[in-house]
Structure 1
Amino acid sequence: MNGPGPLTVVGDVLLDHDIRGDVGRLAPDAPVPVVDVTADLHRAGGAGLAALLAARGGREVVLVTALGEDRASDRLREVLEGRVRLVELPLDGTLPEKTRVLAAGRPLVRIDRGGGEVGPPTAAVREALQRASAVLVADYGRGTADSVRPLLAAAARRAPLVWDPHPRGGPPVPGARLVTPNAAEAAALCPAEDDSLGAHARRGAELAQRWEAVTVAVTLGARGAFLTRPHTPAPMLVPAPYTATGDPCGAGDCFAAIAAAALADGALPEEAVQRAVTGAAAFVAAGGASDPALWRSPGTTAPMDRPVGDAFALADSVRARGGTVVATGGCFDLLHAGHVGLLDSARRIGDCLIVCVNSDASLRRLKGEGRPLTPLEDRLRVLAALGSVDAVVAFEEDTPETLLRSLRPDVWVKGGDYTPEGLPEAAVVREWGGQAVVLPYLDGRSTTRLAARAARAARDSRTTS
């Protein structure tokens, strides 16, 4: 075998079915709302969502799960086709299906159906686990993990294994590199404590010892995650980089998927958890499992990538109350005083400021090889930490025009190294009645000058040493 193996996800899948609509009347034959359907969506849930999230960015992912010959299983295969490689266990019964009826985004009723008995592992399952560069187990207690448990125990001795436990599932196999219970799951297993940070840390250490795990990360939602080890009095708290206010559905799957991918790439558990906390916050801010970008056909691109704060929901909210949406954009490769002054001034123009940021590939095409000096995730995080910035969103194209047509700001701002008539986006924002403006720029500050100054300082240091 050449090169590293795929990331293998093992666990129970289900078909999520959302019926969305509007309610404006009651039925004449009973006091129940009538839902006028506007959308009928099918998505992968459980281990299927975890596998899809792990495969973002082009990573090879194998999903080991139980599927049957029923309609829901066939629909699930269609949803995952071209995204992950399926290795199936036999399912005697029907795939679990969770149907929600929603009005104005709020659930009215949920209907669960389906289920069956998982059969024994096949030779293809054994091969998938033997070739894996890392293994992620999403055990929802429906039989998949139990069916292959001896194989998982052997895999944990060969490769990093991440176990995402759930109340209905069994304990992780010994030797798991990382186990990721949420705070409620950890509290249910170790109930004799309060909900203080110290209690979460003690629970994590106790569970790591009980499960014979290398590390346990107790996820705390908006507070981040606690990384603990057996018998270790000083755990590591990884706080969330910002408060994400979107739909948290699927955040645990996202956390586990990112952590498993990081371990597959050789990261330490501490690094994996830091990446997972940041990635889960961005996932929630983008709308969680309901984010349409997750379910676009393979090969298509969204007008935005990796939002920090839900820029689109923010813009809609500000416009709805009659406010002014201000946006600006750039590379922000090395944040300096000129950037900070521009952002402070731009925020004072309106009621929110959204910053559009060139992706790494976009910046490299614009500035040349050797750039960016700072990767996108770090640039987004630094910008989001500024008090003047309400949301950040990245774009892959050479210009933000596609993103702006989705965002539709009232004011588009650039620094004084442009002229109003020379702004390439000016014509775009005029399409919806927006205005492009140029603000004064702090003279003498630029990323290029900062980089050149740092290079000179490094050369001088080598010369004198």
Structure 2
Amino acid sequence: MSTPLSDVSGLADWLPSRLAEAAPQVAVVGDVMLDGWFSGRIERFCREAPAPVVDMTKREYAPGGAANTALNLAALGARVRIVGLIGPDDAGRRLRALLQGAGADTSGLVEHEDVLTTTKYRIIGGDQIMLRLDETMDRVPEAAQERLAAAVPTALAGSDAVVVCDYGTGGLGEAVRTVLARHRGGRLLVVDAHDPRLWSGIAPDLVTPNAAEAAALLGMTLDPDTDRAAAVAGQAGKLLESTGAGAAVVTLDKDGSLLMMHDGGTHRTWASPVTEKQASGAGDTYVACLTLARAAGLPLSTSLDLAQAAADVVVHRRGTSVCSTTDLAAHLGTFSDSALDAEELSQAVATERAAGRRIVLTNGCFDVLHRGHTRYLTQAKQLGDVLVVALNSDASARRLKGPDRPINAAADRAGIIAALSCVDYVTVFDTDTPIPLIEAIRPDIYAKGGDYSPEMLEEAAVVEACGGEVCILDYVADHSTTAVVRRIRGSAPTAITNPSPTAGTNPAPAAGADPA
């Protein structure tokens, strides 16, 4: 079931109970590891070599790899079973205890006498990672792989979704793929793999390669200083065909993520990047939240936005961290009072412009948010660097739409629009046209939906006089707030239909919107 999200304050209150109520059973099959973060002070160099001495003050451990994905799923409200290989060593015992302490079912955690638990220990001096010590196996014994495969059917029994976390350590070979294909059934399958082509034979619903993995798969270079999302989008067909997936989500770290579907549909998210280099595992958090949201019945585009928000939470933290349902709700709740007044917006835009960024402005009521809106705003963001959304005030919306509009108050509309990763700033204006706002911030691009033409816009001449450009985006008439309101009120001739929430993908979002 797809639930319309009409205001962010409602979302922040609704999300924990929705996920807790759904509490899907998720099986995580993958390469587990133990992360260590050892920190201390550096005040001298050793006598033996020109190397700093780190006087240790703190040792912290956290599940890593597939175990971190499992931990994030549990923190977000899923019931989790973890399947992975560990050794009869201190790291394996510590990892099992940490997972059990988080509420994960570790009965599928296979301990094998010939296996060494994978560890990644980081040595930190002050605020700088000085060294990382990895302990891995050159080759995982076939007998261990067979025992791992034998644990898969039990973990899948009763599960709503499966996440495969294949980091190339050698544990997830043909034996695991064969068993998973045989026992998968109709469950949602998400594959997060260094080489997702290895899993194409079981036709995953979603694959989630990062930028480096997508580049290797496509045989291309993705320069971080270029438009990587556009480069990947141009190869969507090849990526989907080679992975056998129903849809692909490429995570692009500081550039957010991009969803690609077989029918050409896409959805883009934007990240809130930081310069901090001591964060780890944001990709695991993203995959966990994406899987849980889909398994709980949320539309694919909404699931991506929530996953991006969860990743933004952990990337601002040190170490290998998790995002809980409470963390995510609190993060979304920060957008509930997010509209800038005219002076604040002018200052923000001046700062952005001084940094060389192009300003895009669009406006509308954006009353009951729907897929047409999100598609429209994503297109607007791609026209420049910074997207400003100006909302009609409640009084202005009533003058334009009638006495029964808006459905949602300006503060609520501002909150949910601000929560979209493609939106940078939100403001509210009370005039019938945004001309005073255009004169104040002088946007480089003024974007409107395709139900307009430049000749119809009174403000077009003002935009051009300010040195800007008017850009008309796509429009699909079937996706309008008015139509949604009619359906909600029961006056539409046909009911709303929703695609299957837990398997496969949703149809592509509408190519445009009426920002009513």
TM-score, L = length of structure 2: 0.56
Q: What whole-Å deviation, never above 9, does each CA across 1:365-410 have from its counterpart, x for those lacking one? A: xxxxxxxx9699948727994489xxxxxxxxxxxxxxxxxxxxxx
Q: Aligned pair 1:224/2:256, yes or no? A: yes
Q: Distance in 2 between matches of 1:382 and 1:213?
A: 26
Q: Distance in 1 between matches of 2:413 and 2:77?
A: 18
Q: What whole-Å deviation, never above 9, does each CA across 1:249-273 have from its counterpart, x for those lacking one? A: 2122111111111121123433322
Q: CA deviation at 1:58?
A: 2.9
| Contact 2:257–2:268 (8 Å) recurs in 1 | yes
- Alignment counterpart, residue 271 of structure 1, candidates 295, 302, 321: 302
| Contact 1:244–1:284 (8 Å) recurs in 2 | yes
Alignment match, 1:109: 131
- Alpha-carbon RMSD: 4.1
What is the 5 A alignment of 1:143-292?
A: 143-146=170-173, 147-167=175-195, 170-192=198-220, 195=223, 196=227, 197-230=229-262, 232=263, 234-240=264-270, 242-247=272-277, 249-287=280-318, 289-291=319-321
Q: Distance in 1 between matches of 2:46 and 2:334?
A: 54
Alignment match, 1:125: 152
Q: Distance in 2 between matches of 1:61 and 1:221?
A: 26
SS of the counterpart of 2:292?
A: helix
| Contact 2:83–2:109 (8 Å) recurs in 1 | yes
SS of the counterpart of 1:95?
A: coil
Alignment match, 1:405: none
Q: Distance in 2 between matches of 1:377 and 1:57?
A: 22
Alignment match, 2:93: 74
Alignment match, 2:161: 134
Q: Distance in 2 between matches of 1:243 and 1:267?
A: 25
Alignment match, 2:385: none
CA shift in 2, pair 1:33/1:193, >3 Å:
closer
Q: CA deviation at 1:19?
A: 1.3
CA shift in 2, pair 1:7/1:193, >3 Å:
same
| Contact 1:12–1:140 (8 Å) recurs in 2 | yes
Unaligned runs of 5+ in 2: 1-21, 349-410, 428-484, 493-516
Aligned partner of 2:280: which letter? C
CA shift in 2, pair 1:194/1:108, >3 Å:
closer
What is the 5 A alignment of 1:78-97?
A: 78-83=97-102, 84-86=104-106, 87-91=108-112, 92-97=114-119
SS of the counterpart of 1:262?
A: helix
Q: Distance in 1 between matches of 2:27 and 2:413?
A: 27
Q: CA deviation at 1:283?
A: 2.3
Q: Distance in 2 between matches of 1:152 and 1:377?
A: 42
Q: What whole-Å deviation, never above 9, does each CA across 1:207-258 have from its counterpart, x for those lacking one? A: 211222101111112222221134x4x4414131544444452122111111
RCO comparison, higher one (Cα < 8 Å, 6+): 2
Q: What whole-Å deviation, never above 9, does each CA across 1:133-184 have from its counterpart, x for those lacking one? A: 0111110122343242123223544111000011599444432010001111
Alignment match, 1:45: 64
CA shift in 2, pair 1:344/1:206, >3 Å:
same
| Contact 1:93–1:114 (8 Å) recurs in 2 | no
| Contact 2:196–2:207 (8 Å) recurs in 1 | no
Q: Distance in 2 between matches of 1:331 and 1:113?
A: 40
SS of the counterpart of 2:63?
A: strand
Q: Distance in 1 between matches of 2:267 and 2:335?
A: 28
Aligned partner of 1:159: which letter? R
Q: Aligned pair 1:32/2:31, yes or no? A: no
Q: CA deviation at 1:66?
A: 1.1
| Contact 2:163–2:192 (8 Å) recurs in 1 | yes
| Contact 2:149–2:176 (8 Å) recurs in 1 | no
CA shift in 2, pair 1:228/1:93, >3 Å:
same
Unaligned runs of 5+ in 1: 309-329, 349-372, 389-457
CA shift in 2, pair 1:121/1:376, >3 Å:
farther
TM-score, L = length of structure 1: 0.62
| Contact 2:336–2:415 (8 Å) recurs in 1 | no
CA shift in 2, pair 1:114/1:219, >3 Å:
closer
| Contact 1:204–1:217 (8 Å) recurs in 2 | no
Q: Distance in 1 between matches of 2:91 and 2:211?
A: 32
**Same amino acid, percent of matched pairs:** 29
Aligned partner of 1:21: which letter? G
| Contact 1:282–1:306 (8 Å) recurs in 2 | no
